[in-house]
Amino acid sequence: MPTLVISDLHLGSRAGRDVLRRPAAIDRLCDAIAGADRLVLLGDTVEMLEGRPQGALADAEPVLRAMGAALGPGRSVVLVPGNHDHALVRPWLRRHAAAGRRLGPSHRIGISSSPGLRAIASWLKPARLEVRYPGVDLGDGIWAHHGHYLDRHLVRRPEATGRATADDYERSIGAAAARLTGDMAAAMPRPIGDAFGRAAQLAMRAAAVSRPVIATLPGAGLLAPLSAGALGYQFRRSGLPAMAAVTDHLGVDAADVVFGHVHRAGPRDGDDADEWERGGRRLWNSGCWVYEPLLLAGTSPPHPYWPGGALWIDGGEIRSVGLLDNVAPELLD
C-alpha cells in the first residue's frame, strides 16, 4: 500500500506562501496522489494561527477537494494536526483531559469532535478521513508526528533533559513563535533564526512578498546564501537529536520516525545518512509546501527547504522526494 506523506501546507497563509493554491503545484501533487493508496497530512495543513481560521479553511477547501478527487473512493487520508491547526483537535483534547485521561503517542480523534474536522472530512470525499493525534502508527514500524513537540527541546532548552509526557509537550505548545516562520526558525542557528524572524515579521507587516522588496530588508541578504551550509549544521546539531528525544520521551517503539514542522526535508542526496540514524532508528522529515523567499530567493532546487517535499512509503521502505523540483520557480513565488 503506497503511502504519500506531506506536511506544512499552511493553506490560507496571509502572505500567500502556500504554494498549493497555485495551479502548477496542486497539479503536481494530484499526479503523485493518484499513485497513492493513502495520503498522510502530517500537520499544519491549514494555517489557523494567523487570526483568520475561517478564512484559512475557506482557502483550503478547493485544495482539499482536489486532493480527495485525486485519491478517489476507497482510499484514505490520515490527518495528524500540528501547532498551526491545533484548533482542530482542541475540543477533543479538552474533553480527554477533563475526563482525567492521559495523552498517549496516538489516539483516534472523532471527526464530529470539531466543526473544522467535519468540514475537512466532507471536502476530502470520496476519500475517507481518519484523524490521529498527536502521532500515528503507519505500520511496518513507522511512527509519524507533526513535530511541534520538538519546540520544547529546540526553544526551551533547559527543560530538554527531563522526562516529558505527551501532556507535558501539550502544555509547552505556544512557547515557540506562533508565526509560520517560527517553526522554521526554531531549528536554525540562533543569530540566523533571529534575523530570519525579524525580516519575516517586517515582510509580513509591509505585506511585502516580492523579491526586490525582500532584498532590502535588514538581515534578508544574508539568509539565502547561508541556508545550505549553516542551516544544515544546526539541524544536525539540535534538530535531529530533538527528534530522537521526543520519540524516546513518548516511549514510541519504531524503526523509522517521521516529522515535519521545521520545513527541512530529508534525508536527501548529500545528507549524511548516518546522522539521520539515532539510537537505532532512522529519522525522516517531510519538508513543506511553503515558498519562503527569505530563504529561497536566488537559489534553485534541489534545496532542503524548497516547497514540495514528500515521503513515499512502500513496503516499509521510505524515500524522500521533491515533487516541485521541476516546476519553474516563478510559478511558485
Binding interface with Mn ion (CB under 5 A): 44, 82-83, 183, 261
Specify the DSSP class assigned to residue 236. Answer: I
Kindly state the smallest distance separating residue 13's Cβ from Mn ion, in Å.
12
Backbone angles phi, psi at 49, to 5 degrees: -100, 0
Letter for the amino acid at 156?
Answer: R
Kindly state the smallest distance separating residue 187's Cβ from Mn ion, in Å.
11
Q: Say if strands 309-314 and 317-322 run parallel, antiparallel, or are unpaired.
A: antiparallel
- Cα dihedral 324→268→177→249 (10° resolution): 130
What distance in Å separates the CA atoms of residue 315 and residue 124, rounded to the nearest whole number?
25
Backbone angles phi, psi at 113, to 5 degrees: -75, -15
Nearer to Mn ion by Cβ, of 38 and 261: the residue is 261
Other CB atoms within a 10 A radius of the CB of residue 96 amount to: 18
Contact at 8 Å (CB) between 246 and 149?
A: yes
Closest to 173 in 3D by CA, of 263, 84, 48:
84
Kindly state the smallest distance separating residue 71's Cβ from Mn ion, in Å.
24
Nearer to Mn ion by Cβ, of 82 and 189: the residue is 82
Nearer to Mn ion by Cβ, of 176 and 327: the residue is 176
Q: Determine the 3-state secondary structure of 11 from DSSP.
A: strand
Kindly state the smallest distance separating residue 10's Cβ from Mn ion, in Å.
9
What distance in Å separates the CA atoms of residue 257 and residue 3, rounded to the nearest whole number?
15
Kindly state the smallest distance separating residue 174's Cβ from Mn ion, in Å.
12
What distance in Å separates the CA atoms of residue 295 and residue 299, rounded to the nearest whole number?
8
Nearer to Mn ion by Cβ, of 92 and 149: the residue is 149
Nearer to Mn ion by Cβ, of 82 and 232: the residue is 82
Q: Say if strands 128-139 and 309-314 run parallel, antiparallel, or are unpaired.
A: unpaired
Nearer to Mn ion by Cβ, of 44 and 59: the residue is 44
Query: What CA–CA distances, in Å, run from 196 to 26, 170, 217?
Result: 28, 26, 10
Kindly state the smallest distance separating residue 216's Cβ from Mn ion, in Å.
28
C-alpha cell, 179: 508565526
Nearer to Mn ion by Cβ, of 127 and 193: the residue is 193
Kindly state the smallest distance separating residue 43's Cβ from Mn ion, in Å.
6
Q: Determine the 3-state secondary structure of 72 from DSSP.
A: coil
Nearer to Mn ion by Cβ, of 46 and 217: the residue is 46
What distance in Å separates the CA atoms of residue 38 and residue 230, rounded to the nearest whole number?
35
Kindly state the smallest distance separating residue 152's Cβ from Mn ion, in Å.
13
